[in-house]
Amino acid sequence: MRSEIRHDPSQKIVMYLGLFASSSCCILGYPCSNEASVILAFRATCVGYFICNLAGLLLQKCELSRRILRIGLVINSLSSWLVSGHWCLGFGEWCIFMLCEHAFMMFGGMVLVENLVHLHLLFTLTGSFVCYLLRRESSVLGVEADRVWDAAAVTVVMVLVGGILYSGQRSISFLRQKLDLISSIVTMSEQELPNSVSFTRTPSGSKFVSSWSSPNGGSGALPELSDCIGRGSFGQVFSANYKNQKAAVKIMTWEGEQLKRVDPLKEAKLCMSMVHPNLVQAFDFFMRDCESELPGKSPWKEIWIVQEWCDRGTLNSYCDVPRTSGLGLKQAKTILCDISTGCEYLHSKDIIHGDLTSNNVLLKSRDSTGPLELDFVCKVCDFGLARVLEEGVSTLLTSQLGTVSHMPPELIRLDNKRLTKKADIYAVGILLYQVLLGRLPFAKKSAPQVVIFVASGKRLQLDETAPEDVRQIFMDCTALEPRERPTAEELVQYFSRDDPQSG
């Protein structure tokens, strides 16, 4: 016997709230018109929305109930049109009412029907605005009475929106997590800024005490810092002298809530444990606890990770011209083979990089074996967002965002927020795009535009100048469904094989 699929508790809450809101509005009526037909039409939309919510509750979760709930949203849109077409208050009051109404349409649609929410919003907004412009002047009640009705209606809608926001539904929770995350990233950047100079000297006008330790059991000889050569989400990178050799020192700072989200010691130990020709090697690390003597300043932690020096900079600086044929194509495949090999090693250790971009691939000089060979090797770096998968676990719930241009569709869409190794494969595909075409992906789009582009199912396309098999591997890497993407091992096999077209 087939068991019934019940609505989520959050969906039931929203439908119960819909019953309350439609009943309240039916009782309140609409005071801006004394025409019986208008009042009857308004109450009819309230009754229609009530029936749709009631039917959704009684039918349990199925395609029919979803369609009925969608019809309920359309009826609610028609009610908004009717109200706008006979509005008797000012433009400001109408804007407030419409803002509340569209907030309900967006959040209610996300919970109840889960897709095509943007079309519902556009349908409601367009119709309401046109009806407002074509409205007939009416003043059947006093202004104060009209405003009382408006306040009551707005209150009902706000109760509805508030209930939806705190319903716990996965789409709403995911949206709130992303907004909280973006807020925390902005706050973190502001907090790190005042401390940036403390890496090389004590800030003027401030005092702090610190204690150094070498959890790795190192010699205790601190590297001598020189120039700042880069900045990341968790700190800065300096050129340095360490044991009479040039090195890079990554200095990260954590304080307050950041210490709860990221473990700096885990970051350092992870870097030390990864040994591979296509990964930036870490030699040693030091940690210190810092405490300011100024009142109100919370303590913070610094960790210095000493890494090998990569003298050729980042891959981003190399991607300046197209390389879609001949020698350029062969060099591009060599670069992608290096990156895929490093990625394969990480995945073999059950590690997901999570932020694989051209700025996180460093170039180090090497002796070339011939005039057609590259004179550098690519090394993947920056495990600031790396995730370690525990035994038996294949996915992780994301708690941090990587670079949006390299973020796969499954992390942008609201229906899936789990990170797998295939997220790194998608990022390799984006790197292939940049290396081949010599330009940044989504170069003319802002971050929100990139999110909308990817979430709508659209994809980047390689130029026709690239060989067909290269275009195919790019399409495979950037497939919308993670399961359709190749593994890192398969990418290594593809990019390492000889190809007459790139000879």
Is the Cα dihedral 100, 101, 104, 110 positive or negative?
negative
Computed over its alpha carbons, how large is the radius of gyration of the chain? 29
250 is in an annotated binding site: yes
Q: How far apart are CA 100 and CA 118, in angstroms?
A: 16
CB contact set of 215 (below 8 Å; sequence gap of 6+): 265, 268, 269, 285, 287
Q: How far apart are CA 248 and CA 150, in angstroms?
A: 63
- How many angstroms separate the Cα of 94 from the Cα of each of 88, 97, 317, 410? 9, 5, 52, 38
Specify the residue for token string 């979430």. 455
Q: Is residue 278 a contact partner of residue 378, using CB atoms and an 8 Å limit? A: yes
Q: Is residue 34 classed exposed, middle or buried when 0-12, 13-18 and 19+ CB atoms within 10 A define those classes?
A: exposed
Beta strands in 221-264 (DSSP E): 224-231, 235-242, 245-255
Q: What is the 3-state secondary structure (H, E, C) of 67-93?
A: HHHHHHHHHHHHHHHHHHHCCCCCHHH
CB contact set of 334 (below 8 Å; sequence gap of 6+): 373, 374, 495
> Which residues belong to the annotated binding site?
250
> Which residues belong to the annotated binding site for ATP?
250
